[in-house]
């Protein structure tokens, strides 16, 4: 369906320099970013839970605090006083080894503790964490000190994941409101926003071969910038066949062409489970799209906006991405094809900190031969979320963080406008079930050579 121009790959190694600070300062910065994120939300807003997959904003505020209290302060801070013993039950997410917990579908029923009490809880834990970190030498070889720092960095990245979930969960909650409220002021339009043509989508060839993938060391970093989850490793080699990857993600305009050719009505394009979901849920367009006369509108954190044709499509499921790729005469990349291309690129793009909570537009940001490998929209891959060779989960309760979810989900790469920038790296593996689409998920095409 697309006339993609051919281009040989000429990637050069690049490295991103990030400033580092003390563990206590890094911890404080991450915690403050969460509070910055809820600016403009009322206490009533933060109690909303719109579906079982989502959680109220106040629950995210409390759960991320519980993580530091339960997994760091309780085992390692001798003088720590628990803020409220009941919070262990209320704000445990899925850690069976830690104990019983409040059912996830009922998190929106927790009118108490109040939002104010949860903020007090955060201040209590933050003060204790800073005290503990100030007493811990970053250069220590002491087992307990090293574990405190490693768990703190894990907790910081865990909180950044929840910053993204808080944004996407709150957007879904607001989308249920008949007035479609505006969360953040609309960004000023750029000169290229209207009337400009999208950059052409090109094929960039990759010769394949034996390549190394994954992170060298996982779960033990003492700084935010050099962290990787256990599921990102161990680093290993794979044989890749030659392939081509599209130069940019798919746009809204291209998605409209798919819809115009009955993409949501042609079962030949869909996986069996995907077609069943289309019929059961009545899907006719991406999430948050609405037709008004001959116009398409899209709901965003900045309110409802007219659909920008050159903007990268977002809020689509794996099933939809797979069907579009088949319609386009292509396929989704696997996660290793994506990483082979992204490994040598700068991690830069449109992230949560930009304050522009919209995908980028085709042609607006390039890094060599590719646009928006990082940021703007998560990119579905055809790779099931599974363990790498010789994968070993973390010890104790933390073993439940990633490994037990390696069934029935698909990997996404690259981050999105909803993601904190420090969370994203070339080896980062996000994962969701194939029917889910409330995240800022898009796609990039691939083909065999």
Domains in the chain: boundaries: 23-175, 202-448
pLDDT at 327: 99
Consecutive H or E run containing 57: helix 57-68
DSSP type of residue 419: S
Whether the Cβ atoms of residue 278 and residue 319 lie closer than 8 Å to each other: yes
pLDDT at 156: 97
Task: Kindly indicate whether the domain formed by 23-175 is annotated with CATH number 1.10.10.
Answer: no
| Top-tier CATH class for 202-448 | alpha beta
> What pairing do the DSSP bridges indicate for beta strands 430-432 and 410-413?
antiparallel
pLDDT at 406: 92
pLDDT at 17: 37
pLDDT at 7: 36
pLDDT at 1: 43
- This prediction has a pTM of 0.93
Q: In terms of Cα–Cα distance, which of 293, 301, 282, 281 is closest to 180?
A: 301
User: What are the residues whose beta carbons fall under 8 Å from the beta carbon of 184, sequence distance 6 or more?
Assistant: 40, 301, 302, 355, 357
pLDDT at 266: 99
Low-confidence ranges of the chain (pLDDT < 50): 1-19, 192
């Amino acid at each position: 369906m697309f006339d993609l121009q051919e281009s040989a790959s000429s990637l050069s190694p690049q490295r991103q320099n990030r400033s580092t600070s003390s563990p206590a300062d890094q911890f404080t910065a991450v915690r403050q970013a969460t509070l910055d994120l809820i600016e403009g939300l009322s206490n009533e807003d933060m109690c909303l839970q719109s579906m079982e997959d989502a959680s109220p904003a106040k629950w995210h505020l409390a759960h991320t605090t519980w993580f530091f209290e339960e997994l760091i302060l309780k085992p390692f801070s001798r003088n720590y006083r628990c803020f409220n013993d009941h919070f262990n039950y209320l704000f445990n997410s899925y850690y069976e080894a830690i104990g019983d917990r409040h059912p996830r579908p009922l998190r929106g029923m927790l009118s108490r503790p109040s939002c104010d009490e949860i903020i007090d809880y955060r201040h209590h834990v933050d003060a204790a964490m800073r005290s503990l970190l100030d007493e811990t030498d970053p250069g220590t070889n002491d087992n307990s000190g090293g574990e405190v720092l490693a768990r703190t960095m894990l907790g910081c990245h865990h909180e950044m994941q929840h910053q993204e979930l808080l944004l996407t969960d709150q957007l879904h909650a607001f989308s249920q409101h008949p007035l479609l409220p505006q969360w953040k002021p609309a960004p000023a339009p750029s000169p290229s926003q209207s009337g400009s043509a999208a950059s052409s989508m090109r094929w960039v060839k990759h010769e394949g071969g034996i390549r190394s993938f994954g992170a060298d060391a996982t779960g033990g970093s003492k700084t935010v910038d050099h962290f990787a989850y256990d599921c990102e490793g161990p680093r290993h080699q794979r044989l890749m066949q030659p392939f081509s990857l599209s130069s940019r993600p798919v746009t809204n305009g291209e998605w409209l062409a798919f819809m115009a050719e009955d993409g949501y009505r042609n079962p030949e394009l869909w996986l069996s489970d995907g077609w069943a979901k289309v019929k059961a849920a009545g899907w006719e367009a991406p999430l948050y799209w609405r037709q008004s006369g001959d116009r398409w509108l899209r709901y965003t954190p900045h309110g409802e906006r007219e659909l920008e044709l050159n903007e990268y499509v977002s809020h689509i499921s794996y099933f939809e991405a797979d069907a579009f790729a088949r319609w386009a005469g292509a396929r989704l990349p696997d996660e290793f094809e994506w990483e082979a291309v992204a490994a040598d690129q700068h991690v830069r793009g449109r992230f949560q900190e930009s304050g522009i909570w919209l995908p980028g537009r085709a042609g607006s940001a390039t890094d060599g031969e590719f646009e928006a490998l990082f940021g703007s929209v998560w990119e579905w891959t055809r790779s099931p979320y599974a363990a790498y060779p010789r994968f070993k989960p973390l010890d104790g309760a933390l073993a439940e963080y990633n490994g037990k979810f390696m069934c029935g989900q698909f990997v996404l790469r690259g981050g999105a406008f909803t993601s904190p920038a420090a969370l994203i790296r070339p080896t980062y593996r996000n994962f969701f079930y194939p029917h889910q689409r409330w995240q800022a998920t898009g796609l990039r095409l691939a083909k065999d050579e």
